[in-house]
Amino acid sequence: MPVTLTIALVVTAAAVFSPETLASTYFLAALLLHAAIAALCIAVPWARLPAGAFAVIPLLDCLAIAFTREAGGPAFNVLSMVLVFPVVWLSAQVRPYMPALAIAGTVLCTVVPPVVQGVPLAGGSMIRVLILPLVMSVIAVTAHVVATTIRRHRARLVENERDLARTLAESVRRQALLDAVLKAVGVGVWVVDTRGHTVLANRAMRTDPALDGVMDPAGRHGLMLADRLTPVPSGMAPLARAAAGEVFVDELYWAGPADRQRAYSVSSHGFPPAGGQAGGAVITFVDVTSLVSALAAKDNFVATVSHELRTPLTSILGYLELVLEEPGHEDIQGELLVVRRNAEHLLGLVNDLIAVASERMDLSLEETDLARLLALEVDAVLPKAAGHGLQLVLEVEQPLPARVDPERISQVVRNLLSNAIKYSPSGGLITAGAVRTDAGLVCSVSDTGVGMTAEEQEQAFTKFFRSARSRETAIPGAGLGLPVSKTIVEGHGGSISLASEPGVGTTATFILPVA
């Protein structure tokens, strides 16, 4: 198209300023060649031919331009500039041999016309034979490099657009999925930034009447602590803690009017800044009112039943003592002692149930040597440990004075030693020790038993919890030893903890205040 338009302008100029040129048969033959090439462009279905077949057109253009220039004489030498069109057309192609064809076309442009006319190549002609191909070679190489660079950038842009389209489609899909999930779940989800501003809140969070004031930007959250009476301080509210970057899990709060309070398990997990967006936290509110009520009902039931059982058991033990003290029962004394021992064990279990249900225990504090107390309990279980093929070692400082309830602390030590013996295979080692530290009086019982997983350790102090291993191997127990021990130790103002690894063993440690 550019070549055809240029030649049409040249013909128009020639008709105006040099009519005699149009009378030249040679010039008309050159114009006819141009017309034939234009017709060829239109008529041939190039898409059906091999990919490089179109190169015939620009090569023929080079020849047609050369004949037009020669036929027009010196005044038409400027037509050599029109060679730029076919040269650029060829050089801009992907195939690396196209620039070579473009250079070959310029060489043909300078050599073929003189040969056809039978004119020898003189000095001036030789200069044109050399200069024109050299100039066009530079143009061809430049056009090829520029076209290749443009194609590369275009391909990169197209790929980037495809990636962006895929990313956008995935983002839309994920957003739709997130919206559907947030609408479907019954858990209140509240996303806040580091300044405490709301980023997102799902329908469950916005429509729960009990949580109406929690999202109040003025800070009137209306939350109560676990006692259902004490308002949560502003600085301890879930929003303030989450905005400060604190992570917490399953903390109990109460919300709503006093006569319709609801219990919520509240958790917060932070997320870091990303994509130019500030970080923040996701706060979840799970309504656990039914669960809390069920647990309270269970504890009330256990406490009630335990109280009802304790009275007849106490009576049974009293009458057993009377029977054992009366003469004439020597022949069944062994059986009576078994009955008393089991009744005492059952009474102890009932007392444990009452203590666990009430989460408190009456203590009778007195000055006691913790080292002697620990030694007595270790001596008491030595036969049982030996019967299981276990070695029991005592490591204790002498003395360790403390003001505690000796019977209750002995119960804690018995529970820990009993667990160590039950869960240690034959040939194992159990170490009981006590020491005075800056933190207080530290007492520990370590074993080389089966150990516990991290999940089991989290549940170990839960009432009636028993590990899967203990259930599979039918190890006896009610799941009350550790909860009762925790109640006793915390009643003394101390703390108790576990450190365990499956297949390695467990260390149970409790710390009592010195005073």
**What tens-digit pLDDT sequence spans the chain (515 residues)?**
888 898 889 888 888 888 888 888 888 888 899 999 999 989 988 888 887 888 889 999 988 888 888 888 777 878 888 889 999 988 888 888 888 888 888 888 888 877 777 666 555 555 566 787 888 888 888 988 999 899 999 999 999 999 999 999 998 888 888 778 777 777 888 888 888 888 888 888 888 888 877 877 655 667 888 888 888 887 888 888 888 888 998 889 988 887 788 899 999 998 888 766 778 899 999 888 888 888 777 767 766 666 677 778 788 888 788 888 788 777 787 888 888 888 877 777 776 666 666 566 678 889 999 999 999 999 988 988 888 899 898 988 778 888 999 988 998 998 899 888 888 888 889 999 999 888 889 999 999 888 888 888 888 877 766 665 555 554 655 667 788 888 888 888 899 998 988 888 899 999 998 76
Report field, pTM of the whole predicted structure over 0.85: no
d(CA 441, CA 370): 9
- Tell me the H-state helices in 388-424: 406-422
Q: Report residue 117: phi and psi, to 5°.
A: -80, -10
Q: Rounded CA gap, 280 and 199, in Å? A: 9
Q: Closest by alpha carbon to 59, among 78, 40, 73, 43?
A: 40
Q: Residue 481 is encoded by which pair of tokens?
A: 């030893």
Closest CA to 4 of 54, 64, 49, 89: 64
Task: Look at the alpha carbons of 155, 157, 158, 162 in this order and tell me if their dihedral is positive or negative.
Answer: positive
Runs of H (alpha helix) within 73-97: 84-91
Cβ atoms of 400 and 434 closer than 8 Å: yes
Round to whole Å and give the CA distance between 224 and 256: 9
What Å distances lie between residue 384 and 143, 337, 422, CA to CA?
A: 96, 20, 10
How far apart are the C-alpha atoms of 268 and 379, rounded to whole Å?
49
Question: 429 to each of 28, 391, 392, 424, how far by Cα in Å?
Answer: 115, 5, 6, 8
d(CA 161, CA 149): 18
HSE (side-chain half, CA atoms, 13 Å) at 333: 8
Query: Which residues are 286's β-sheet partners?
Result: 265
CB neighbours of residue 194 within 10 Å:
15
Sign of the Cα pseudo-torsion (470, 473, 474, 477, in order):
negative
Enter the tokens of residue 316: 């049974």
Calpha distance 236→215 (Å, rounded): 15
